[in-house]
Chain A
Amino acid sequence: SAVISQKPSRDICQRGTSLTIQCQVDSQVTMMFWYRQQPGQSLTLIATANQGSEATYESGFVIDKFPISRPNLTFSTLTVSNMSPEDSSIYLCSAQTGTYGYTFGSGTRLTVV
């Protein structure tokens, strides 16, 4: 099955700074999806990234806070901007990489201090 490489795997950041998370898929995919997962909680969709167009954000998430790039069919980045401690979470990317079933990256554990 396909592999999604996500980095960094973890980071500790100062409040007010920004962090860019990268996801690389080893095959071309139409859509890539970005999720946030609070400790002990389920996954919440942040946005859907389609190559060549602006990402579509879910309610409660805005482009200024979570800008997304999708320069080609195998790569996407999510930036967490002007971070605060409330942004501390696990961020995951995903894509459908087979006939069915979605593959996820291993996640980025972000701690904002």
Chain B
Amino acid sequence: LAKTTQPISMDSYEGQEVNITCSHNNIATNDYITWYQQFPSQGPRFIIQGYKTKVTNEVASLFIPADRKSSTLSLPRVSLSDTAVYYCLVGGSSMDTGRRALTFGSGTRLQVQP
């Protein structure tokens, strides 16, 4: 599984856009990039997944350059409730049968200030 590197922590203010970049130089051809969010006292929650270019949903956008060696999770206009740890994961595919566990890196602790 490809190793991922992301900043340990980030600070932001309410209403700002937050971009969290993850490096995954050894990503394999079949690997997808998935981001999870974890609030205190809760399990991680799926945010978004992509393979290349840009993916957007109601929560976030995911930007993946052509070489796919990095990806950027973009959170528009963050609020205090976006304070959480964000994990970048690489591996599997969107059609994975669920037979492989997720491997978590250290994650990025995002603190949103008022």
Contact = CB atoms under 8 A, between A and B. Distances in A.
- Chains A and B belong together in one complex: yes
Interface of A: 4, 6, 29-31, 33, 42-45, 48, 92, 94-97, 99-107, 109
Binding site secondary structure of chain B: loop
Contact of B97 (A94, A96, A103): A96
The 8 closest A-B pairs by CB, nearest first: A104-B43, A96-B98, A101-B46, A100-B94, A43-B104, A33-B101, A42-B104, A45-B101
Contacts of B65: none
Interface of B: 32, 34, 41-46, 49, 87, 93-107
A33 B94 CA distance: 18
Interface centre among A48, A95, A104 (most CB of B within 10 A): A104
Contact of A106 (B32, B43, B100, B107): B43
A29 B98 contact: yes
A42 B100 CA distance: 18
B38 to A, nearest CB: 8
